[in-house]
């Protein structure tokens, strides 16, 4: 098999694992949303436009997912999701109804901050030893606040408050969050809009990874989108490039199939000696926008990439280059798998097997036979960290 076929097989294998192990927020645990789900904990699709107070269920869940996407960035996904759900439930117990009335979060800011703080401490007592053992770290370093922040006011207002302000100001302008999102011609354009819009954009409160994570949940995990054209399907947004994706794609050799190590060092995707313990650091977010001359030589891949850009992303009608972070979309075209399943597979492998230290569980990993780091070049595992 050539490189393209080998990498396509790798991605479809990971996506199949993701299909079996979906990763999405347990929204049914949020008490005000309990009745949106059936007895099997599945969202009731034909009741999404049913009103719950002044808003539809679709609108309320979308508001939650936007907040969740902003907060779902840190060292312990399980702890982060517990924090969000427990804080929301406790706020609603105090009639601080942050999705039905976003202004409540600010009107009762003392309650909001206190709940975030006390819930975090409770989760830390339970999760810190588990997290430290899995990641070979110190439990005292456990912190779910973004940027490892110690200031609860900054974290609460910036990371919670900004995404809650989006539906608030949209309401003032007479438009729902759903209508605002779906005026975009694709999920990829939507992920940029929620960050960059001059009036409603979240700016630095949300990263590219979080924008794509939101797109995944909105379109695929919960099927909230009203639009069903190609721009709103499971190949219409980039993969949420996080540390799991970067680590797995590097260790397996996927990234090195599309550019060489010198390129990644030049682009500061690989930062020599800046990782934990003086090892090399993989900053996968720096790969965004970087071009692959190797991919451009594969005519079949390039034709698929053109379809992705013009019909799914709605960004470039006639691309002349191939961006590395968008290659997975082209490789998955016509395979029956989507970016959502690929991302879920990367999360499962990255948190269960391909751990970010010198002793990952390679022998148990379901993709070990396709991993260059395991089979041929252990330095890809031993010398790099995310």
Q: Is 364 exposed, middle or buried (0-12, 13-18, 19+ CB in 10 A)?
A: exposed
Structure tokens at 313: 């992303």
Backbone phi, psi, residue 280, to 5°:
-80, 140
Give the DSSP H/E element, type plus range, for residue 175.
none
The span from the CA of 217 to the CA of 26, in Å, is 11
Nearest to 282 by CA among 274, 268, 270: 270
pTM of the full predicted structure? Answer: 0.93
> For 198-226, b where at least 16 C-beta lie within 10 A, e where not — what string?
eebbbeebbbbbbbbbbbbbbbbbbebbe
Q: Could you give the strand order of the β-sheet that contains 270-271, starting from the edge strand earlier in sequence?
A: 270-271, 280-282, 384-385
Residue with tokens 């508001």: 63
What is the chain's pLDDT, residue by residue, as a tens digit (386 residues)?
688 999 999 999 999 999 999 999 999 999 999 999 999 999 999 999 999 999 999 999 999 999 999 998 777 888 888 999 999 999 999 999 999 999 999 999 999 999 999 999 999 999 999 888 877 788 888 888 877 777 889 889 999 999 999 999 999 999 999 999 999 999 999 999 999 999 999 999 999 999 999 999 999 999 999 999 999 999 999 999 989 999 999 999 999 999 999 999 999 999 999 988 899 999 999 999 999 999 999 999 999 999 999 999 999 888 999 999 999 999 999 999 999 999 999 999 999 999 998 889 999 999 999 999 999 999 999 999 99
């Amino acid at each position: 098999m050539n490189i393209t076929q080998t990498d396509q097989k790798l991605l479809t294998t990971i996506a199949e694992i993701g299909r079996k192990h979906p990763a999405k927020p347990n929204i049914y645990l949020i008490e005000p949303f309990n009745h949106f789900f059936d007895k099997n904990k599945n969202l009731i699709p034909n009741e999404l436009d049913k009103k719950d107070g002044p808003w539809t269920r679709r609108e309320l869940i979308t508001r939650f997912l936007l907040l969740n996407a902003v907060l779902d960035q840190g060292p312990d996904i399980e702890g982060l999701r517990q924090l969000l759900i427990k804080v929301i439930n406790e706020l609603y117990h105090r009639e601080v109804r942050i999705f039905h009335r976003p202004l409540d979060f600010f009107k009762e800011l003392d309650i909001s901050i206190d709940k975030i703080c006390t819930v975090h401490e409770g989760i830390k007592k339970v999760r810190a030893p588990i997290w430290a053992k899995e990641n070979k770290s110190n439990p005292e370093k456990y912190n779910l606040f973004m940027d490892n922040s110690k200031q609860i006011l900054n974290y609460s207002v910036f990371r919670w408050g900004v995404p809650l302000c989006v539906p608030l100001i949209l309401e003032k302008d007479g438009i729902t969050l759903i209508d605002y999102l779906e005026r975009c011609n694709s999920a990829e354009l939507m992920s940029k809009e929620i960050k960059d819009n001059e009036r409603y954009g979240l700016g630095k409160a949300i990263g590219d990874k979080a924008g794509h994570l939101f797109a995944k949940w909105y379109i695929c995990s919960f099927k909230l989108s009203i639009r069903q054209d190609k721009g709103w399907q499971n190949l219409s947004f980039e993969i949420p490039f996080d540390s799991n994706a970067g680590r797995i794609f590097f260790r397996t050799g996927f990234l090195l199939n599309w550019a060489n190590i010198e390129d990644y060092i030049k682009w500061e995707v690989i930062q020599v000696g800046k990782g934990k313990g003086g090892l090399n650091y993989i900053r996968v977010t720096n790969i965004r926008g970087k071009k692959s001359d190797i991919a451009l030589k594969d005519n079949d891949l390039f034709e698929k990439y053109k379809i992705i850009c013009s019909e799914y992303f709605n960004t470039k009608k006639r691309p002349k280059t191939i961006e590395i972070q968008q290659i997975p979309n082209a490789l998955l075209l016509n395979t029956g798998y989507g970016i959502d399943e690929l991302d879920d597979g990367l999360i499962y492998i990255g948190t269960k097997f391909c751990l970010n230290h010198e002793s990952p569980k390679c022998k148990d990993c379901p993709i070990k036979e396709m991993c260059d780091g395991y089979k041929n070049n252990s330095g890809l595992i031993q010398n790099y960290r995310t």
